[in-house]
Structure 1
Amino acid sequence: MSDFIRLLPDNVANQIAAGEVVQRPASVVKELLENAVDAGATDIKLIVKDAGRSLIQLIDNGRGMSPSDARMSFERHATSKIQTANDLFNLHTNGFRGEALASIAAIAHVVLRTKTAGDELATEIRINGGEFISEQVVAGPVGSSFEVKNLFYNIPARRNFLKSNSIETRHIIDAFQRVAFTYPKIAFSFEHNGSEVFKLPAGSSKQWNSNTRQRVVNIMGKSTNEKLVPIHEETDILSIKGFITKPSFAKKKKGEQFFFVNNRFIKSPYLHHAVINAYDGLLNQGSHPSYFLYLDVPKNSVDINIHPTKTEIKFDNERDLYAIIRSTIKHSLGQYNVVPSLDFERDASLDTPYSYKDRAYVTNPVIEIDQGFNPFKEKGNTKFNKERSAKNLQWEALYLSDNPENELIENITVDMDNVTQDLFDEAQEAAALKTFQVQAKFIASSIKSGMVLIDQHAAHQRILYEEYLAKVTMEGLGHQQLLFPLKVSISKNDVMIIEQIRQDLNSAGFHISEIQEEALVLDSIPSAIAEKEVLGIIESLIENFRNEVPESSFSQVDLITKSLAKSLAIKPGTSLNNREQENLLNKLFSCKEPNYSPFGKKTFITLSLNDLEEKFNLE
């Protein structure tokens, strides 16, 4: 009988490993950035074309590699970061598995140029799809330059599963930001298709707090500075520092939330819950705070090797960390509530306005009163009483006729008639009542087969969605011209999304006159919304497109109408009178798809007579 088990060729094994390590272009960016940081670089430049499909190039001024190290770096499980298994529990670096470069070279065309300070010339190595092509000596500076071209060229199925360029670009931006946030003393720059996206200078201050704050502001935008509240706490098991945002600046989107553990970005729903719990009672429903939290824990108390991307980690004492994070944030928020000016960089000279700052103290203010005035004595102050009477006659003459008593009686009679009529109308309406509201969330109504229970929020979303979609696609949603242009603040990351959907926003009634570096200027908005709602709707639109921007123009319009419907639909807890309830019910069942909201949630359920009888017959 022949044998069936055999060893895989190296190129096949590397392609399989690449499936775990390199999921998309952003995975390559992450690995190359972390290697550059571990190499001691102080200046790192990222160049990307076509969202990483055509080119990902990373240039650093780190220590570089010798010719033999350069060749060895592309071998599987070759690494300078660890030597024994115990080193996995005492890590001081980012990449350590030794799979990244081998996996990347297996699915792309790779060119490496590297040079150490002790070498006269640089080494250039070319590898295509895991196959060694050439090695030669070239001129070059100290450091390393990686060029990754034609990613997934030999795995077309994986290439076809990549999302649109806009989505892949945002994943690259996320990977870039996570490393840039962690190392504020390193200069980073990012160029996409020839345009500069970020240019982040290295922090020059000796204080970690100042450097990190400046890095956060440079990435998220200048308007972020006033929103930040610093936090700091030192314990035996945890050191936590960083920034949270004030509750008044909470946003509809969840994207600006970052945890870093021992200089490594992580995702932890459990610790995220601790942060949200600390804001209990301070946020509006559906709002999310931003935070940039840096945790230092003993290296032997955390396992970062449980996931290929190393973004999910396991703590030995999660409960204790939860309690410390929650109490630390609560303390900082408490300080902010007591002392609103927690921004220590404020200009203290502005505390006292204008020229009063240096004005000398003169005397107490003097209150003058009429000592002889007695309101219960008609003749106590003749002059004052005469003046008061004259003034009273002036305004009373505007309202009283020649016969004020009769007019007063007539007014009372009219008011009583109105009250009687209102009560009569209410009694008639109650007699013809067809619907009623349950806990200001649901609308119940009787039908032939039993009863129907409607979710008013989901139902109104469906109604608005179909109305807006019909208007936008056929004639455009109506808009209202603003007397003064409205400026809406956005982050640098969101400008790219706004530029992409600008034409569709115009069809929806958002007329953008100017797109600035960190703001939009609107000269008109949809007729259905108020100015105070614009910021929340724009944030919702950006968040929706951040997560699922399709290629077709119709789908972009569809997302806009969904966002408008979600933002403008009546909220749970809104009381509706009988006419509003019936109007909602009638409009829902006039929709093309009344069964579900635009987001797939049921709008109503029915209970048959048999269902109701079974409920009562249960023992």
Structure 2
Amino acid sequence: MPSKIRVLDEHTINKIAAGEVIESPASVVKELMENSLDAGATEICVEIKGGGRQLIRVTDNGAGMQQDDAVLCLERHATSKIKEVEDIQLIFSMGFRGEAIPSIASISKFTLLTAPQEGGEGTLVIVEGGKLMHCGPAARAPGTTIEVKSLFFNVPVRRKFQKSPAYEAQEIHKIITLLALGYPHVKFQLINNQSNEIQTGGSSGKTFSHQLKERIAALMGAEFVTSCCEVEITNGDYSLHGYVGAPHYSRQNRTGQYLFINKRAVFSPLISAVVRDAYGTSLPTNRHPIFVLHLNVPGETVDVNVHPQKKEVRLRQENILRELVLKGIQQAIHKGNVSSHQDHQPIHEDFSSPASTSTFIMPAVKPAFSLHPIQERNLAKEYQPLPPMAKAPSREEPQPSLLAPLAQEKRSFPRVLATIPGYIILDAYSLEAWKQVSADTLCLVDQKAAHARVIFENLLQARTGNAAVQSLLIPHHINLPPSEAAALSTNLDNFAQIGVHIHESGPHSFMIDAVPATFGNIDLSQWVVDLLDMMHSFPEGKMMDKEMEKRLSVAASHAAVHYRKRLQTEEAQSIVNQLFVTSMPFFCPQGKSTLAFISAEEIFRNFKG
């Protein structure tokens, strides 16, 4: 009887390995750029077409290779980074397994052109689907160029699950941003479909702290970097350097967090939690700090061999790390609070590329990506006056508003008696048309929950063209980093569907022309960035209705009036009137009650002698 267990051939093994290491075009870019950095490159250029599926070309000025090494690098587990198992414990290079190049070559049409820095002729190697097609001498300046075409051409299952080119390009943006923050002395360039989208300058002659500050200014905005807090602390062989956002700078998720351990970009739940703890109560609930941190530790205290793509690491000496990070960030925040009113020197990165239109330089019209302290913008003064819940203007004949029948009925709405910070006091007697309640009951409305319900239903109606949309008299300007700008460009239709009309006004620059009429005094830029973060899981630019509703419920809460603000009676009455023409006036979009009732008996008990 023949054996059922067989030893796989090398070609099949390479394809299986490729599935673990290479998930997408962004994975290819990451592996190739890390190889360039390990080779000591100070200039790296990435060219892509079709989101990287048609073409990825990475060119560097690194060490290069002799012909023997150029051929040997195509063999699995052939590497120059380690010689024996003990070396893994002291590894400082980005790669070390020797799997990336053979994995990429096995699922693409692969070309390698390289020449060593020490001199000698270059080498050209061509591989298709893991088969060596050509190897011979070629002319090239010292360094390496790797070209990957038709990615996944021989893996139809993997090809079928790839995202849109726009999404893949956005992911490549993020990879380059990440590595650029990790290596601020290296020049990076991204050319997407022959368009120069990213170009950073290098500054090898300056201190690491200054290099990092310039790079953060280029990638995240000069306004942010002048308001963030510098972290610098050392304890023996452990050191922490970088910058953290002041407490009033935050995101609703961890997308603004960049952690590097021994220059390797990683995610560490431990460090992330310690950073959050360092802010204490100064950080708003359910918000996450923004930071770029470089942690240097002895090689034997970090295990990078726990994840196929080395995204996570295992840390030893956790108590030392916890104390170092906690102390360093607390000191930085305290120092930042003390000096927050002092003038900051401007930060300028040297962009000396052929075309001096560096797409990382944020225009000075408004701070990049509006990571301001949460400042409320009085949109009411910028609206063209339209009545609440009015029909949105449209070139086509709109469908009748879902709320219009209720809104048009001549019924009296519950009457506002008074307001206190966070709450609206209603006349319980006037509620009888909506809810059975005793006239001697005290009725409180949670103004934020109520306003969120109004905004939520307005956002849903905007998708059908039946909600009030107000044009801004002064369009709101917003600048974004390259990866965020690419995401917003992909989702412009999603924003338009909910009544937020945005158009591109320049490289990574946008104008907001109109918003739902129910919006209050909010930071529009922060709201757009927050919703953009939530849309990220829908890369094709389309969201399913149920998932869209979940995200809009959160977005509505963010756009609602502040829970501590005391409203004017007229403002409160307007919210109440609009609340009681919604489909579910007694609950906010996330299920929280909008009204609370306190009986006369309960009040009496509190004053009982």
Pairwise TM-score range, normalised by the shorter structure: 0.7 to 0.9
Cα offsets for 1:474-498 (capped at 9, x unmatched): 34x4333334333334333222233
Shift of 1:269: 1.5
Counterpart check, 1:497 vs 2:464: no
1:208 corresponds in structure 2 to 208
1:23 corresponds in structure 2 to 23
1:369 corresponds in structure 2 to none
Shift of 1:213: 0.8
Quick one: structure 1 residues 100 and 212, their matched pair in 2 at CA, closer, same or farther if it must change by over 3 Å?
same
Counterpart check, 1:471 vs 2:466: no
1:259 corresponds in structure 2 to 259
1:52 corresponds in structure 2 to 52
1:486 corresponds in structure 2 to 476
Shift of 1:590: 9.0
1:548 counterpart (530, 538, 548): 538
Quick one: structure 1 residues 226 and 547, their matched pair in 2 at CA, closer, same or farther if it must change by over 3 Å?
farther
The separation in 2 between residues aligned to 1:340 and 1:497, in whole angstroms, is 32
Q: Is the Cα contact below 8 Å between 2:458 and 2:468 reproduced in 1? A: no
Comparing 85-94 with 556-565, greater Cα deviation is found at 556-565
Q: Is the Cα contact below 8 Å between 2:426 and 2:442 reproduced in 1? A: no
TM-score (norm 1): 0.73
Correspondence list, 1:5-44, <5 A: 5-44=5-44
1:353 corresponds in structure 2 to none
Q: Is the Cα contact below 8 Å between 1:435 and 1:578 reproduced in 2? A: no
SS of 1:179 mapped into structure 2: helix
Counterpart check, 1:567 vs 2:558: yes
Q: Is the Cα contact below 8 Å between 1:491 and 1:519 reproduced in 2? A: no
Unaligned stretches of 5+ in structure 1? 348-417, 443-455, 605-619
Shift of 1:467: 4.2
1:134 corresponds in structure 2 to 134
Quick one: structure 1 residues 42 and 252, their matched pair in 2 at CA, closer, same or farther if it must change by over 3 Å?
same
Quick one: structure 1 residues 438 and 96, their matched pair in 2 at CA, closer, same or farther if it must change by over 3 Å?
farther
Q: Is the Cα contact below 8 Å between 1:488 and 1:535 reproduced in 2? A: yes
Quick one: structure 1 residues 573 and 160, their matched pair in 2 at CA, closer, same or farther if it must change by over 3 Å?
farther
Cα offsets for 1:136-182 (capped at 9, x unmatched): 22222211110111111111111111122232222212221222111
Comparing 568-577 with 61-70, greater Cα deviation is found at 568-577
Q: Is the Cα contact below 8 Å between 1:75 and 1:102 reproduced in 2? A: yes
Quote the RMSD (CA, aligned, Å). 3.8
Correspondence list, 1:11-160, <5 A: 11-160=11-160
Q: How many residues align?
A: 510
Correspondence list, 1:157-196, <5 A: 157-196=157-196
Identity %: 28
Shift of 1:539: 1.3
Shift of 1:551: 4.2
Quick one: structure 1 residues 572 and 163, their matched pair in 2 at CA, closer, same or farther if it must change by over 3 Å?
farther
Correspondence list, 1:577-588, <5 A: 587-588=582-583
Q: Is the Cα contact below 8 Å between 2:112 and 2:146 reproduced in 1? A: yes
Q: Is the Cα contact below 8 Å between 2:89 and 2:299 reproduced in 1? A: yes
Report the AA paired with residue 100 of structure 1. Answer: A
Counterpart check, 1:302 vs 2:307: no
Shift of 1:472: 2.8
SS of 1:484 mapped into structure 2: strand
SS of 1:270 mapped into structure 2: helix
2:599 corresponds in structure 1 to none
The separation in 1 between residues aligned to 2:441 and 2:574, in whole angstroms, is 10
2:359 corresponds in structure 1 to none
SS of 2:44 mapped into structure 1: strand
The separation in 1 between residues aligned to 2:426 and 2:151, in whole angstroms, is 76
TM-score (norm 2): 0.75
The separation in 2 between residues aligned to 1:424 and 1:70, in whole angstroms, is 78
1:520 corresponds in structure 2 to 510
SS of 1:203 mapped into structure 2: coil
Q: Is the Cα contact below 8 Å between 2:44 and 2:189 reproduced in 1? A: yes
SS of 2:514 mapped into structure 1: strand
The separation in 2 between residues aligned to 1:499 and 1:129, in whole angstroms, is 34
1:359 corresponds in structure 2 to none
Shift of 1:564: 4.2
Correspondence list, 1:322-333, <5 A: 322-333=322-333
Cα offsets for 1:95-138 (capped at 9, x unmatched): 10011111111111100011114554321111111111111222
Q: Is the Cα contact below 8 Å between 2:58 and 2:147 reproduced in 1? A: yes
2:526 corresponds in structure 1 to 536
Quick one: structure 1 residues 585 and 104, their matched pair in 2 at CA, closer, same or farther if it must change by over 3 Å?
same
Q: Is the Cα contact below 8 Å between 2:428 and 2:439 reproduced in 1? A: no
Quick one: structure 1 residues 565 and 532, their matched pair in 2 at CA, closer, same or farther if it must change by over 3 Å?
closer
Report the AA paired with residue 459 of structure 2. Answer: Y
Quick one: structure 1 residues 482 and 427, their matched pair in 2 at CA, closer, same or farther if it must change by over 3 Å?
closer
Q: Is the Cα contact below 8 Å between 1:229 and 1:342 reproduced in 2? A: no
Correspondence list, 1:284-323, <5 A: 284-323=284-323
Report the AA paired with residue 544 of structure 1. Answer: M
2:607 corresponds in structure 1 to none
SS of 1:113 mapped into structure 2: strand
The separation in 1 between residues aligned to 2:578 and 2:341, in whole angstroms, is 49
Cα offsets for 1:270-299 (capped at 9, x unmatched): 211111111122223343321000000111
The separation in 2 between residues aligned to 1:289 and 1:47, in whole angstroms, is 33
Quick one: structure 1 residues 332 and 603, their matched pair in 2 at CA, closer, same or farther if it must change by over 3 Å?
closer
Q: Is the Cα contact below 8 Å between 1:203 and 1:214 reproduced in 2? A: no
Correspondence list, 1:238-277, <5 A: 238-277=238-277
Quick one: structure 1 residues 513 and 133, their matched pair in 2 at CA, closer, same or farther if it must change by over 3 Å?
closer
Cα offsets for 1:339-386 (capped at 9, x unmatched): 224665269xxxxxxxxxxxxxxxxxxxxxxxxxxxxxxxxxxxxxxx
Quick one: structure 1 residues 439 and 562, their matched pair in 2 at CA, closer, same or farther if it must change by over 3 Å?
closer
The separation in 1 between residues aligned to 2:514 and 2:31, in whole angstroms, is 45
Q: Is the Cα contact below 8 Å between 2:188 and 2:200 reproduced in 1? A: yes
Report the AA paired with residue 437 of structure 2. Answer: A
Shift of 1:225: 2.6
Shift of 1:320: 2.6
The separation in 2 between residues aligned to 1:164 and 1:274, in whole angstroms, is 36
Q: Is the Cα contact below 8 Å between 2:184 and 2:203 reproduced in 1? A: yes
Shift of 1:302: 1.1
SS of 2:217 mapped into structure 1: helix
Report the AA paired with residue 432 of structure 1. Answer: V
Report the AA paired with residue 35 of structure 2. Answer: N
Counterpart check, 1:432 vs 2:437: yes
The separation in 2 between residues aligned to 1:586 and 1:154, in whole angstroms, is 57
Q: Is the Cα contact below 8 Å between 2:163 and 2:539 reproduced in 1? A: no
The separation in 2 between residues aligned to 1:33 and 1:340, in whole angstroms, is 38
Structure of larger gyration radius: 1
Report the AA paired with residue 162 of structure 2. Answer: L
Quick one: structure 1 residues 566 and 547, their matched pair in 2 at CA, closer, same or farther if it must change by over 3 Å?
farther
Report the AA paired with residue 80 of structure 1. Answer: S
Quick one: structure 1 residues 434 and 25, their matched pair in 2 at CA, closer, same or farther if it must change by over 3 Å?
farther
The separation in 1 between residues aligned to 2:247 and 2:559, in whole angstroms, is 22
The separation in 2 between residues aligned to 1:435 and 1:580, in whole angstroms, is 23
Comparing 318-327 with 142-151, greater Cα deviation is found at 318-327
Q: Is the Cα contact below 8 Å between 2:459 and 2:499 reproduced in 1? A: no
